[in-house]
């Protein structure tokens, strides 16, 4: 998988997890400590993300970073934009 594909898959997974947990971007922002704009850009696959960001977002959804990335790798999504 290319870097660009990973970026898009990470964004789709975050959106899917938000949908599953019924969280708005604002709620995820508060829980993860990252801005709404940053999260929106990641969800849209426009920017690369840091390990810190992945760690914080994964923790919101009670996942380890490894579990989060495994879902990205297997393209395990519940909802898509």
Element (H, E) at 63: none
Whether residue 38 has pLDDT greater than 90? yes
What pLDDT sits at residue 4? 87
Q: Which domain does 14 fall in, by range?
A: 3-74
Question: CA-CA distance, 70 to 33, in Å (whole number)?
Answer: 23
Query: What's the token pair of residue 55?
Result: 């760690």
- Structural domains of the chain, count: 1
Whether residue 25 has pLDDT greater than 70? yes
Residue of 52, 50, 63 whose CA lies nearest to 20: 63
Contacts of 62 (CB under 8 A, 6+ apart): none
Whether residue 80 has pLDDT greater than 70? no
In a domain, 79, yes or no: no
What pLDDT sits at residue 2? 85
Whether residue 48 has pLDDT greater than 60? yes
What pLDDT sits at residue 78? 55
In a domain, 65, yes or no: yes
In a domain, 80, yes or no: no
Give the domain CATH number at 42: 1.10.260.40
In a domain, 55, yes or no: yes
What pLDDT sits at residue 79? 54
């Amino acid at each position: 998988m290319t870097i660009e594909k990973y970026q898009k898959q990470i964004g789709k997974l975050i959106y899917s997890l938000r949908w599953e947990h019924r969280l708005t971007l604002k709620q995820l922002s508060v829980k993860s400590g990252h801005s709404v704009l940053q999260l929106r850009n990641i969800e849209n696959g426009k920017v690369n993300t840091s390990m810190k960001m992945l760690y914080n977002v994964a923790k919101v959804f009670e996942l380890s970073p490894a579990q989060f990335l495994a879902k990205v790798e297997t393209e395990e999504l519940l909802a898509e934009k």
